Amino acid sequence: MMEVRNLTVRAGGRSVLQNVSARFRSGCMNAVIGPSGCGKTTLVRAAVGSGALQADGEFWLEGTKLTSRGDRVGRVGYVPQFCLAHPDLTVEESILYSLKLLDMGPEEISRRADQILAETGLSRLRTRFVGKLSGGQLRRVALALELVADPSLLFCDEVTAGLDPESEDGILDLIRTLVERQGKTVVNVIHNLHHLHRFDWIVVLDAGEKVFEGHFPAFQKWFELEDPVKLFRLLGDLSNPRDWAALWREKGEEPAKSVEAERPPSKRNTIPASDFSQAKTLLQRRFRLFLRDRGYLALTAAITIGFPLLVVIFALDGIPQLTRLSMDSGLGTLGRLQGEIAFAKEAADVGSLVSSLILFQVVLLTLTGSNNGAREIAPQAGLFFQESLRGLRPGPFCFEKLVFTGGIAVVQGIVMTVVVKSVVHFPGSWWIQGITLVLVSLALSWLALGFSAWLKSGEKASLLAVYVVGFQLPLSGIVLTLPEPLTDLLRSVITTYWGWASYLASFRNTGLYDAAVFVSGEKVPPYLLCLLVLLIHVFSAMILVASGVFRMHRTR
């Protein structure tokens, strides 16, 4: 039996559930019903251990108290209203990747996948992409994914909502089969009361309080209703207002206590795979999804190749060399003056071109970097929550995101270095310039990834990343002079400045360096210092990502 004791939940400054206690029967189909906004979803989310709620109360499963999300892993599953599986995976791939997050050998994985597909009626659809399935088929996939960890208790939040009557019937039949053949306990939030008679146990909520708990016949008797569909009208009947919660506390609670004999404590039937194995599976899945998403793949390829080409069109013949390095002393004072002016003009032109080209490639890399990370974590928060109930740990999830976005950032940094240096012929070390651009790309990719881990939506993270990139250029102080007291303070956090300075410092002691410094009027720090600061930016962004992912794990 799953038991909720004295649950009070506060959200948005008010009480959403007040002192609710309810028992859900083992090996049965349980229903949670009530008018819209009465707190059904909140009850389910609290029961599955969501950290997003300010919940006060106790949860007991087969005589064991559940105190954390970890206690629920592999024992409690959660099927949300909408299937969160990746649309670009096939049904079979979705199940296989989920199974690979558990500690199982390849033969067992394959056997379990076949079994789950058969049980959920998905065998014929195994090669179909999830994104191409109907509503009813998607609910089956959502249920199938929850069967992967073989939990004894499944919470389903309106899994039949929005389905046609036939599909709704099919899903309820499937749940009944899981209950009868596998002994699962299923708790269903439902809206359509036409099907209420099919449930073994019913809990009714109204305005955050429990107003009934029992069998269907007891339900009909308690509310004096032949037709359960009239329940919501009865609860909201202002012409005859009744305090159903007080009535239940007074007269109804006793009979509900005689439910069933306790079962032995439920145990986990599956064990999560090691961190390494989970990280490997997630990365394989991520790269497969990357290759399948043609639009994203084309965009990434286009900016990886296109942006360096954009830089080099400003210096297709390489950078012009400074020609008037010496003045002819035979020209006299006026001639020398004219020579100096001509040299200054040429140095200004060349220096400005060098400084701008370096700045341009750095800025473009900050832009591509922000594009890599901003939508990577926030949109997957729901799926991550579900998978964490099946045993996925935050460490491997964080590692997958860092490696995937980091991999793209490194490739983009290298392509920029190779294309620009080959065409423009910047002097100086390939290594220093390559490392500089890779670090710039990594820092912004992971910063945007960090935003995505901390913010609630990919759009918000993307917007913030765009602002951060947009402010990089003016706050670098390279193009516009910053007020003196702010210069060092602001620059310390501006990746663009350190990328520009490191690249420029890599060819110190050359005429081009002198010309660029002459134009910018900057004292350029040594490249080792610049690389060190860039490394600090990269590690800080990494910490932002890790702290965001672990926080998301605690608070979802």
Q: Binders of ligand ATP among 182-221, rule CB under 6 A?
A: none
CB of 361 to ligand ATP, least distance (A): 44
Closer Cβ to ligand ATP, 11 or 414, answer by number: 11
Closer Cβ to ligand ATP, 16 or 549, answer by number: 16
Return the SS3 of 206.
strand
Helix H or strand E encompassing 478:
none
Q: Does 236 bind ligand ATP (CB under 6 A)?
A: no
CB of 210 to ligand ATP, least distance (A): 13
Closer Cβ to ligand ATP, 208 or 272, answer by number: 208
Give the chain's length.
Answer: 556
C-beta of residue 111 within 8 angstroms of C-beta of residue 148: no
CB of 47 to ligand ATP, least distance (A): 12
Closer Cβ to ligand ATP, 10 or 288, answer by number: 10
CB of 162 to ligand ATP, least distance (A): 12
- Residue 152: how many other CB atoms lie within 10 Å: 23
CA distance 200 to 202: 7
- C-alpha to C-alpha distances, 294 to 290, 301, 302, nearest whole angstrom: 8, 10, 12
Pairing state of beta strands 76-79 and 153-157?
Answer: parallel
Residue type, 11: A
Q: Does 12 bind ligand ATP (CB under 6 A)?
A: yes
Closer Cβ to ligand ATP, 18 or 352, answer by number: 18
CB of 50 to ligand ATP, least distance (A): 10
DSSP 122: -
Return the SS3 of 78.
strand
Number of H helices, E strands in the chain: 21, 10
Q: What is the contact mask toward ligand ATP in residues 242 to 281, using x (rule: CB under 6 A)? A: ----------------------------------------
Q: Binders of ligand ATP among 25-54, rule CB under 6 A?
A: 34, 36-42
Q: Binders of ligand ATP among 479-498, rule CB under 6 A?
A: none
CB of 3 to ligand ATP, least distance (A): 19
CA distance 313 to 378: 37
Closer Cβ to ligand ATP, 40 or 375, answer by number: 40
C-beta of residue 123 within 8 angstroms of C-beta of residue 150: no
CB of 42 to ligand ATP, least distance (A): 3
CB of 192 to ligand ATP, least distance (A): 12
CA distance 487 to 474: 11
DSSP string, 357-391: HHHHHHHHHHHHHHHHHTTSSGGGHHHHHHHHHTT
Tokens 């009744």 locate to 242
Closer Cβ to ligand ATP, 34 or 391, answer by number: 34
Q: What is the contact mask toward ligand ATP in residues 283 to 302, using x (rule: CB under 6 A)? A: --------------------
Q: Does 241 bind ligand ATP (CB under 6 A)?
A: no
Binding range to ligand ATP, per CB under 6 A, among 9-17, 65-73, 374-382, 498-506:
9-17
In the list 11, 418, 490, 532, the residue contacting ligand ATP (rule: CB under 6 A) is 11
* CB burial string 484-502: b at 16+ within 10 A, e below: eeeeeebbeebbbbbbbbb
CB of 385 to ligand ATP, least distance (A): 15
Residue nearest ligand ATP (C-beta atom): 12
Pairing state of beta strands 29-33 and 185-189?
Answer: parallel
C-beta of residue 497 within 8 angstroms of C-beta of residue 477: yes
CA distance 442 to 538: 6
Residues that contact ligand ATP, how many (by CB under 6 A): 11
Closer Cβ to ligand ATP, 34 or 151, answer by number: 34
CB of 418 to ligand ATP, least distance (A): 49
Closer Cβ to ligand ATP, 42 or 433, answer by number: 42
CA distance 190 to 197: 12
In the complex, which residues of this chain contact ligand ATP (CB under 6 A)?
Answer: 11-12, 16, 34, 36-42
